[in-house]
Chains A and B, each alone.
Chain A
Amino acid sequence: MPKIDLTVNVRHEPGGKAVPTSIIWEDGRVFAVDRVLDVRKAASLKGGGLGVRYTCRILGKTVLLFNDDDSWFMEK
């Protein structure tokens, strides 16, 4: 399964900027997003979909989070 649908906590800032702050894993564990490295519109060829892509640092790993019309998924 290259595409993982996720619950994501997002901070909506004035001006319309949305920043993911943490993700909730399938088993209920919560992982904080340590840093957002890059934000851009992109397609996910591996996951199958498109949207705003957040390149995030979580537990020292680089993770790609996609916001496709406000439903979030992760590319593995």
Chain B
Amino acid sequence: MRTILHVDLNNFYASVECLYLPELRNVPAAVAGNPANRHGIILAKNMLAKKLGVRTGEALWEAQGKAPGLVTVPPDFAKYLRFSRLARRIYYDYTDQVEPFGIDECWLDVTGSLHLFGSGEEIANAIRVRIREELGVTVSVGVSFNKIFAKLGSDLKKPDATTLITSENFRETVWPLPVEDLLYVGRSTARKLHNFGLATIGSLARVDVEFLTKTLGKWGEVLWLFANGLDSSPVRRIEERAAVKSIGNGTTCPRDLLDNEDARLVFTVLSESVAARLRDYGLKCTGVQIYLRDNRLYSCTRQARLRAPSYLSTVILDKAMEIFTASYAWQRPLRSIGVRALDLVTEKDHLQLSLFEEFEQHEEQREALEHTIDAIRGRFGHGSLLRASCLLDGRLTGFNPKEDHVIHPVSFFK
């Protein structure tokens, strides 16, 4: 049986800010985006703000209603990345099998280190003490025999606590919990399960697996295995970079988009970032997907295939605009849009040439051009070379998704 730890940095962004600004520690405080750019949501909050009911993801004005006098600070992602690295360096003292899940969570497989450092619980406590003393922030750790229960455990007791879930006690500790606490039971799955009267993880575990497969498809079986503690997915070493499945960027605009011209400006910035990231990875995409969300927060995605694999911003932009004009009739102004490159292939992949179109020479020149742009930006900064269209509306285009990009948890099933 494996011993797996899930280490979760508590209120990560807020804890880091509180460390650097000790005066924040005794007042309700939160890290929040800039409301002037309509990014005004709570990204993290400290314990005092949490007690007053402030929740991650809610709008700034909602939070200020609950916690008058809430102090907010802007996020500083470079600082958080540094902390994340420092924390990971501590984990590496105990095992080389460390799999990050977002910026503030990691799974550690310590099965092979038990004879060196003691039981899983002892390692968890040692890590907690070191993070507290060396980094000045706290972690909660879940110790279990699979990744799902370890993650569940780290959420049970916060902050600065260790929770042990063993094969003997998981029926008493995990099964009474609401089914929403299980990883990958989101809003709509939870609703379906509740409709069947499955409110707790235990009831999900005890139901017939074939019934679940019939109603939820293959996800039903996966969730059933999770609930029964039968998850066997390994903790991946960090070096084993998971194959990238898609690359996308999206943004909530400082003002609503009103016409195709507005949309084109924002799509331009996003496509450039997506294309540059594809080139960084040495990948080309064969499909493009756009994401739209209107000012009533209704959202949808549309996608289409490219004629040939590409990592050119112009190709991605043209395709995005083509999908966009074909699928959106401006029923309402748009609040957020995004572009995603799908069905990725390696850049040196074999290419199906076309008999009828002249294409290859052009393509090579354009690729050389975009590589040159990358090189210039790499040396002199992103702003050193911009499209003229970026000057039309500086508010809409004045962002750099490639470098402002933040790491979010990627899929569990890589």
Contacts and interface: CB of A to CB of B under 8 A. Distances in A.
Interface of A: 2, 40-50
Contacts of B137: 43
Contacts of A42: 133-134
Nearest to B24: A48
Chain B interface, >50% SS class: helix
6 contacts: A40-B134, A42-B134, A43-B132, A43-B137, A48-B19, A49-B20
Interface string B121-152: 00000000000111111000000000000000
Nearest to A3: B22
Nearest to A49: B20
Contacts of B300: none
Residue of A42, A45, A48 with most partner-chain B CB within 10 A? A48
A43 B20 contact: no
Given A2-B22, A50-B19, A45 B134 contact: no
Interface residues of B, number: 11
A41 B134 contact: yes
B50 to A, nearest CB: 20
Interface string B10-40: 0000000001111000000000000000000
B133 A48 contact: no
Nearest to B82: A69
A43 B134 contact: yes
Contacts of A45: 19, 22, 136
A48 B135 contact: no
A2 B134 CA distance: 19
Given A43-B19, A46-B22, 5 more contacts: A43-B133, A44-B136, A45-B19, A49-B19, A49-B20
A61 to B, nearest CB: 22
